[in-house]
Amino acid sequence: MSVRNLTTDQYALLEFKHRIVDPHNILANNWTTATSVCNWVGVSCASKHRRVNALNLPNMNLIGTVPPQLGNLSFLVSLDLSHNNFYGHLPTELGQLSRLKLIELSFNFLSGEIPSCFGRLNKVLYLSLWNNNLTGTIPQSLAKMSNLEILDLRHNLVQGHIPTEISNLLNLRILRLAFNRLSGSVPSVIYNISSLHMISLTSNSLSGSLPEVICRHLPNLEALYLALNEFSGQIPSRIDECRRLQNLTLEFNRFSGSIPRSIGNLTRLKLLYLGRNNLEGEIPWEIGNLISLERLDAPFMRLSGLIPHFIFNISSLKVINLANNSLSGNLTVLLRNKKQ
């Protein structure tokens, strides 16, 4: 069994340097054997063990692949290579970094599948791979990252179903899977993760209806982004059980029925996007109770009847878009009341 020490870390980082193009020569001039690894740019060492515990090199225009030798940085807690030009597959050796708590690799050109070996990293709190070219499916093994609080896979080419196993992430606060190629229905057990503050699934090919009791186990939910999918059925009448909801975006789906009156109980709501669905009927007057509302967006639907004058009493409201409906009312009077 080989003994690992700070020299091991130094070798791994020098191998990293040799594999990348550093256009500003920051690493070339600083990462040298003339100085301690712990003093290199972007490198930190733990005071107790004197081993590298952080490699943070964001926004440096670095170009190259992520070498497998990084898997030898066995005391690494933080890995941030975001906003660079890394490409190619992520090495499976990253699964050896059992102390990792942060993985930030967003805004690169990484390709291939999300490594299933990430499932071994059960101390990770933050995993961000957004804005890359990752393909394949979401590995079920990610559900083994039991301490994960933030999972951000936005803006990739990930496809397939959302694995039911994600519901095992009982500490998850933010789930961001928007702008991928996901399909199928969202497993209802996802809505049982009571720690969730945000669910972002915008711009996929997700379908199915929302459970009537979607909010029963989501007391902390502040944002629900479901726009640009293929959801159908009615907006749950008990949506108001998400008491802390601030942003609700459901536009460009196939929701039908009427706007539930219970939405008026979401007094923290700031953004309400409902347009480009099959909603019909009147706009409930209870929307006038949304004292924090800043934008009401409900165009291109089958809404009818009078525009409730209560809406214009909301002092925080900045934008109202009700275009292409069958609504009526005297806007001159309504706007005059708004000014008063």
What integer best gives the mean pLDDT of the chain? Answer: 95
Number of domain units in the chain = 1
Distance of CA 217 to the CA centre of its chain: 20
Residue 240 lies in a domain: yes
Q: Judge whether 249 lies within some domain.
A: yes
The model's pLDDT over 110-144, given as tens digits with 9 standing for 90+, comes to 999 999 999 999 999 999 999 999 999 999 999 99
pLDDT value, residue 49: 82
Beta bridge partners of 43: 55
Residue 317 burial (CB count, 10 A): 17
Q: Mean pLDDT throughout 176-187?
A: 98
pLDDT tens digit sequence for 18-75: 999 999 999 999 999 999 999 999 999 998 888 999 999 999 999 999 999 999 999 9
pLDDT of residue 143: 96
Long-range pairs for 91-96: beta carbons < 8 A, 24 or more residues apart:
91/66, 91/67, 91/115, 92/68, 92/117, 93/68, 93/69, 94/66, 94/70, 94/118, 95/71, 95/119, 95/120, 95/121, 96/71, 96/72, 96/120
Is residue 1 over pLDDT 70? no
Domain holding 209, by residue range, is 6-293
Judge contact between 17 and 26, C-beta under 8 A.
no
* pLDDT tens by residue, 295-315: 999 999 999 999 998 899 999
Q: Hey, is 143 helix, strand or coil?
A: helix
Establish if 308 belongs to a structural domain.
no
DSSP state of 26: H
Largest CA distance in the chain: 82
Q: Find out whether 279 and 301 touch, Cβ atoms under 8 Å.
A: yes
CA 140, distance to chain mean position in Å, is 18
User: Is residue 299 domain-resident?
Assistant: no
In a domain, 306, yes or no: no
Q: State the Cα–Cα distance between residues 29 and 40, nearest whole angstrom.
A: 10
Q: Indicate whether 102 belongs to any domain.
A: yes
pLDDT reading at 4 higher than 90: no
Evaluate if residue 103 carries a pLDDT over 60. yes
**In CATH, what number is assigned to the domain containing residue 103?**
3.80.10.10
pLDDT of residue 330: 79
pLDDT tens by residue, 204-224: 999 999 999 999 999 999 999
Whether 336 is in a domain gets the answer: no
Nearest 5°: CA angle at 105, between 100 and 110? 125
Percent of the chain with pLDDT over 90: 92
Residue 340 CA to residue 336 CA, distance in Å, equals 6
- 337 pLDDT higher than 90: no
**Tokens 């290199």 found at:** 40
Task: Tell me, yes or no, whether 120 lies in a domain.
Answer: yes
Structure tokens at 25: 């020569």
Q: What is the DSSP letter of 121?
A: -
pLDDT in tens, 262-283: 999 999 999 999 999 999 999 9
* Residue 331 confidence class, pLDDT cut points 50, 70, 90: confident
